[in-house]
A and B are shown apart, each in its own frame.
Chain A
Amino acid sequence: MRCGLRWLGSTRFTLVGMALLAIGAALSYDNPVTTPVWVLVIPLLLLAVNLLLAIIVNPAINRRAGLLLFHVGLLSVVVLVAIGRLTFMEAHIELVDGAAFDRDAMFDVRQGPWHSGDLDRIRFIQQGYSIDYRPGMKRGLTYNHILQADADGRLQAGVIGDDRPLLLDGYRIYTTSNKGFAPRLTWVADDGLMVSGSINMPSYPLLYFRQANEWTPPGGETIKFWLQLDTGLKEDSAWVLEPKQARGTLIVNEAGQRVELQPGQSLALKGGTLHYDQLSSWMGFKLFYDPTLPWLFVSAILTVLGLFIHYGQKFSAEPLLLNSKTDKKLLSLSSGKMA
């Protein structure tokens, strides 16, 4: 029993675990759907057991402060990554200007079985964006405006974008490159029923040539829309995408006829009247939640700190170049001075 535990905590077993983890990592390259998560979980479990036993039974580790800190740190990283995968959440959401975060509008939601974050505490309102573009349509910085409630419930303005996420109750909310225009429409059915909303057009400027979508109003027939935009887009020079400054003509196909609508105009269709209220924009956000992130960072830093402590002790205890007579002689030959 003791012999078995010692083997499980040995550096030879570490090599087995590392080899398995290397195979798992290679198989996980680019996150193929066909690769099961177990190719990583099993080696990590084996390495966690190996680390734990090594810390307990291996005096070469537990009697050296630096190495002990390194291995404890490494074990904490493995445990925290596991907890993180059990409690994480990832999702996407598209919000039109003026819209508040709505958990029901999220899509591509993935979460761990122990996820316990309170999505109801995420309160912010999308307020539009502007994005710098460099020549060649290369996207620059995103300035996405939001309103968020402070501790007293008052709305405060803020700007997020790219690597500056909105941090709310452990959730990190990022802007994405997926964004576009959204004509606001009101449908008044012949029976008086009124519906207002917006139609999100495809991502802009990525799909600037294909700004089309369709919608079936209650009591009406499917309407096909095209959006003709004037955003000042310049492919070969610097440009700022400012949806609030953009103009958009909504083109509707009515009985084979092309009808152009400007904001404020209406069109009578079969079953009701369509009002084009105004041109708006939408932003695609990514939500990320992992409560272990700060602890993971601290553990990782302690791990490296352990390494440096160990090196400091080892290198000062064994000054390599003065260990043998030959090397002393060589040093005196070279004497540190250049010819």
Chain B
Amino acid sequence: MAELPWLYAALIAYGLATVVAFYDVMPVRSGRVARHADNERLVFSLMLAGVLLLVVTLTERWLRLGHGPFVNLFELLMSQLFSLGIIYALVYWRVPVMRRSALVALPMLWVLGLWVLAIEPKDSVLPPTYHNDWLWAHVGFGKVFLSFCLIGSSLAGVLLLRRWPLFQGWFRIMPTDKIVDALAWRFMLVAFAFHTLMLIAGAVWAQDAWGRYWAWDALETSSFLNWLMLGAALHARVSYKVSLRVGAVLILVIFIFAFFTYFGAPFYSEAAHKGVI
């Protein structure tokens, strides 16, 4: 498979970005003053390199198989590494005060990175019901949703981690807890809109593909529960005095649920939408 070397190279780039990001928060003695290294540009460049290498990986596979990365878990993980990487890199570039959240976001990406290495890179066949433009919209909105969830979760992770003295230095140059919390929820709000769009596009696709817009299959049920969970969290935040810590935990729970919705369903369902390909 010609795409595998490119995939490994992309993972190495993500790996180096992670190493450099952590190196930046390790105190280095310079004379009598402890200082931190500052390699944000390098972290960003490595992330971008990883994204570009994934573009080559996906293109190579696409040209070889004749269809996009929509069918099996291997393709799902690869394309998600690309979409999470590119959207996180964009935010890293445009919102400087958030850059230290890479210490939480990049290890999260590595869960996918290690997973994709552990599974067999099988070829897939595009089912007849996948020849539909709404599939693109559905998958695209889903990826944007998960990416914003990742960003919200990395900020939630910052909130939780910096309660420990060990990690306080890591996130010293980030805004106050209150701002980080508000920022995290803002990203979750955007995630909610894209989740809604994903459900709409998915329903239109399902109506075309299988003659019904909703059937409570594994992914539909799980993603609807995820939508309800996020909607409920947003309502809870305006109804009750949710502490910053509880808010951060809520965001992480939503992200973990979303993660299992996307990547857990293939374990108990042969295809993304069980029995209906």
Contact = CB atoms under 8 A, between A and B. Distances in A.
Interface size class of A (residues with CB under 8 A): 35 or more
A119 B156 CA distance: 56
A15 B96 contact: no
A31 B211 contact: no
A288 B131 contact: no
Interface stretch (A147-155, A218-226, A300-308): A300-308
Nearest to A88: B212
Given A25-B216, A25-B228, A11 B238 contact: yes
A14 B96 contact: no
A169 interface: no
Contacts of B129: 162-163
B72 interface: no
A19 B232 contact: yes
A330 B175 contact: yes
Nearest to B182: A320
Contact of A311 (B44, B190, B229, B274): B190
Interface stretch (A134-142, A187-195, A208-216, A258-266): A134-142
* Best-surrounded residue of A136, A315, A321 (most CB of chain B within 10 A): A321
Classify the interface of chain B: helix, strand, loop or mixed: helix
A162 B211 contact: no
A138 B277 CA distance: 11
Interface in B40-96: 40-41, 44, 93, 95-96
Contacts of B216: 25, 28-31
Contacts of B39: 339
A69 to B, nearest CB: 13
Interface string B210-245: 111101111001001100110110011011000000
A320 B215 contact: no
A286 interface: yes
Contacts of A21: 228
* Best-surrounded residue of A18, A21, A315, A335 (most CB of chain B within 10 A): A18
A18 B96 contact: no
Given A14-B239, A327-B175, 19 more contacts: A30-B216, A134-B125, A138-B127, A163-B128, A163-B129, A163-B208, A174-B210, A304-B196, A304-B197, A307-B193, A311-B189, A326-B175, A330-B173, A330-B174, A331-B97, A334-B96, A334-B173, A338-B40, A339-B38
Interface of A: 10-12, 14-15, 18-19, 21-22, 25-26, 28-31, 60, 90, 134, 136, 138-142, 161-165, 172, 174, 286, 288, 293, 296-297, 300-301, 303-304, 307-308, 311, 315, 320-321, 323-324, 326-327, 330-331, 333-339
